[in-house]
Amino acid sequence: MMKAFMTNGTIDFLEKLVEKHPEINFFLMNSTAGALAYYENKDKQVFASGREYEALTQSGQITQEGFVVMNNIPVTDDDTAVFEDRFKQQEKAVDGVEGFQAFRLLKPKKGNKYVVFTQWRSEKDFENWKNSAQFAKAHQKQATKPSAYPPNKPFVTTYHMYDPEAE
* Nearest C-alpha neighbor of 70 from the set 118, 125, 106: 118
Predicted TM-score (pTM) of the model is 0.88
Residues 90-106: tens digit of each pLDDT = 767 787 889 999 999 99
pLDDT higher than threshold 70 for residue 121: yes
DSSP state of 132: S
Coil, helix or strand at residue 78: helix
Contact 5/53 with Cβ under 8 angstroms? yes
Q: How far apart are CA 67 and CA 102, in angstroms?
A: 10
Q: How far apart are CA 58 and CA 45, in angstroms?
A: 19
Coil, helix or strand at residue 80: helix
Q: What are phi and psi of 20, to 5 degrees?
A: -70, -25
CB neighbour list of residue 140: distance below 8 Å, 6 or more residues apart: none
Name the CATH topology of 3-40+52-161.
Answer: Alpha-Beta Plaits (3.30.70)
Q: How confident is the model at residue 117 (pLDDT cuts 50, 70, 90)?
A: very high
Q: How far apart are CA 118 and CA 103, in angstroms?
A: 4
* Nearest C-alpha neighbor of 123 from the set 155, 93, 87, 161: 161
Residues 56-115: tens digit of each pLDDT = 998 999 999 999 999 999 999 999 999 998 887 776 778 788 999 999 999 999 999 999
